[in-house]
Amino acid sequence: MDIAVLGGGAAGLSLVCHLARTGWHGSLVLVDDGAHPAAGRAWAWWSRGDALLDPRAATALSCATVAGPGWRRRMDLSPYAYRVLPGAALDAAAEAALASRAAWRRLWGRATTVVPDDAGASVTVETDAGPVEVRARWVLDSVGPGEDRPDTSSLDFLGLRLRAREPVFDHGAVTLMDFRTGQDDGVAFMYVLPVSAREALVERTVFSAPGASPDHAPHLAQYIGEIGAAAAVETGREHGRIPLLARAPTRAEGAVVPIGARAGLVRESTGYGFARIQRHSAALARALAGGEDPAGAAPARRWARALDASLMRLIRDDPDGAREVLGALLRRNPPERILAFLDEDASPLAQARLFASLPEFARATLVTRLRGAGARRR
Ligand SMILES: Cc1cc2nc3c(=O)[nH]c(=O)nc-3n(C[C@H](O)[C@H](O)[C@H](O)COP(=O)(O)OP(=O)(O)OC[C@H]3O[C@@H](n4cnc5c(N)ncnc54)[C@H](O)[C@@H]3O)c2cc1C
């Protein structure tokens, strides 16, 4: 076997799609335990419309709203759009890619061990029919079999799906961050993803300490009343925690190359990872198709990680200061610069301009914390 992809979530499914586009014709197996079917999931991100999976998105909104106490801004996002890809659409794209090659297949089962050696790696997969040994030249691993999962800080959210009789939602714009919600349990913001003027997902998210369980319900009820949707009917709810990496991302070990969240692609300060997963998948596919070591496709994220680390420390130690930094960032910059920055795609000049837009206090705080982060790494 040339390639074993461990985990059929965002990273595994995306990689299969990107590999199919390169025209690479080696053999591949995609291993997934079926515990989190893609069909029940969805990923949101912003992009310019030219990436492989952009056209598969079910939603593409060209405006976004951001707000805080005493201010509100509705922004035209072009050239970006805010997209939502249903997991079923990603799964169908990967299924079509798998079906397009005779030597590509899925294997349903739980990967329990991965052992690298001189010629590749061996993976043990527990299937319904018993254990299966897969030998592969490269293992692209979003799973980390046997790894412990420490309780980390997280973005904890509760979302309610609402249906109203009246057109109460702004169906042309996603509300990305609205800080007008109770802040007693941490830095918290509201998110509203409209499906139509009468239907939306209204979500509250908190940067949450390990072990904490924020009580979102009363805050959600209050916000829903404030946006004029108190009479809306709840049609569903989803609670989730996006773990924020407590340690450096896993490094490649010989033939075993981390992908997805394990590769550190989920940005701590936003919880978004899908756009970075797409760029990494495209780079991995190019490397594999070109016969190169896929470990070299990992994006350089030192600066972004230092920035995230300092923002996270600010959020933990000085929540008021963090809200001021985030508010200034969102209020004082053109949308394209904000989105490129959050996506780690901003030029050095754009980043300098963004820093210059922050209040003096915020700049000084971030610089101090960035220096601290640098000193700790040395
Ligand atoms: C609740 C939640 C919502 C998120 N929403 C967004 C979003 O909207 N936009 C965004 O940009 N980012 C989002 N993220 C962050 C990030 O993009 C996602 O976590 C993303 O799914 C990470 O991709 P992944 O492939 O690493 O992991 P996953 O997508 O979780 O895929 C891992 C797969 O491996 C399988 N698996 C696990 N263990 C084994 C095993 N031992 N053997 C075989 N298979 C196994 C799992 O069942 C799963 O199918 C979200 C994160 C969470 C937790």
Q: What is the pLDDT of residue 370?
A: 67
* Ligand 1: centre distance to CA 5 (Å): 14
Give 377's pLDDT tier (boundaries 50, 70, 90).
very low
Q: What is the pLDDT of residue 374?
A: 53
Q: Phi first, then psi: give them for residue 136, nearest 5 degrees.
A: -140, 150
- CA dist 259 and 243 (Å) reads 16
Q: What are the two backbone dihedrals, phi and then psi, of residue 254, each rounded to the nearest 5 degrees?
A: 60, -120
- Note the pLDDT tens digit of each residue in 197-243: 999 999 999 999 888 999 999 999 999 999 999 999 999 999 999 98
Give the rounded percent of residues in the chain with a pLDDT score beyond 70: 96
Please determine, for residue 90, whether its predicted confidence score (pLDDT) is greater than 90.
Answer: yes
**Tens of pLDDT, residues 50-61:** 999 999 999 999
Whether 246 has a pLDDT exceeding 60, the answer reads no
Burial class (CB in 10 A: 0-12, 13-18, 19+), 248: exposed
User: Where in the chain is CATH 3.30.70?
Assistant: 154-243
Pick from 244, 372, 218: nearest CA to 310 = 372
Q: Is the CB of 36 under 6 A from ligand 1?
A: yes
Residue 248 pLDDT:
66
Beta carbon of 31 within 6 Å of any ligand 1 atom: yes
pLDDT: which is higher, 364 or 118: 118
> How would you label 94-132 residue by residue, b for 16+ Cβ within 10 Å and e otherwise?
bbebbeebeebebbebbbeebeeeeebbbbbbeeeeeee
Residue nearest atom 48 of ligand 1, based on CA coordinates? 9
Distances (CA, A) of 139 to 23, 117, 119: 19, 11, 12
- Overall average pLDDT of the 252-262 stretch: 93
| Residue 266, ligand 1, Cβ within 6 A | yes
Residue 247 has pLDDT above 70, yes or no: no
For 150-167, what is the mean pLDDT?
A: 93
CA of 111 to the centre of ligand 1 (A): 15
pLDDT surpasses 60 at 168: yes
Task: Report the separation in Å between the CA atom of 10 and the middle of ligand 1, taken as the mean of its atom positions.
Answer: 6
The DSSP secondary-structure symbol of 40 reads G
CATH superfamily of 3-61+80-148+247-297: FAD/NAD(P)-binding domain (3.50.50.60)
Ligand 1 atom, smallest distance to 260 CA = 26
pLDDT at position 252: 83
Atom number, ligand 1, closest to the C-alpha of residue 12: 25
Contact 204, 188 (CB under 8 A): yes
* Three-state DSSP class for residue 131: strand
**Mean pLDDT of all residues in 183-205:** 97
Percentage of the chain modeled with pLDDT above 90 = 71
Grade residue 30 by pLDDT with cuts at 50, 70 and 90: very high
Range(s) within the chain of domains with CATH label 3.50.50.60? 3-61+80-148+247-297
- pLDDT tens readout for residues 314-323: 888 889 888 9
Q: Which atom of ligand 1 is nearest to the CA of 41?
A: 3
Cα of 7 from ligand 1 centre, angstroms: 9
Measured in Å, how far apart are the chain's first and last C-alpha atoms? 41
Among 5, 17, 36, 53, say which to mutate for ligand 1: greatest number of ligand atoms within 8 Å of CB: 36
Q: Is residue 305's pLDDT more than 60?
A: yes
Question: Per-residue pLDDT for 302 more than 80?
Answer: no
* Dist. CA 260 → ligand 1 center (Å): 8
- The rounded Å distance from CA 226 to ligand 1 centre is 33
For the cut 90, the answer to whether the pLDDT of residue 163 exceeds it is: yes
Q: Is 94 in the pocket of ligand 1 (CB under 6 A)?
A: no
Predicted local distance difference test score (pLDDT) of residue 218: 97
Q: Is 311 strand, coil or helix? A: helix
- For the chain, give the mean pLDDT: 91
Q: Using CA atoms, how far apart are residues 49 and 79, in angstroms rounded to an integer?
A: 8
Tens digits of residue pLDDT in 280-296: 999 999 999 999 999 99
Give the amino acid at 212. Answer: A
Mean pLDDT of 313-333: 88
Q: Is the pLDDT of residue 325 over 90?
A: no
User: Which of the four CATH numbers 3.10.290, 1.10.3470, 1.10.860, 3.30.70 does domain 154-243 have?
Assistant: 3.30.70
Is pLDDT larger for residue 326 or for residue 299? 326
Ligand 1 atom nearest residue 240's Cα: 1
pLDDT band at 369 (very low <50, low <70, confident <90, very high): low
Residue that wins the pLDDT comparison between 340 and 27: 27
Check pocket membership of 82 for ligand 1, CB cut-off 6 A: no
Say yes or no to pLDDT of 191 above 80.
Answer: yes
> What pLDDT was estimated at residue 378?
38
**Tokens representing 335?**
């949308």
- With a 6 Å cutoff on the Cβ, whether 43 touches ligand 1 is yes
Substitution candidate for ligand 1 out of 30, 143, 339, 342 with most atoms within 8 A of CB: 143
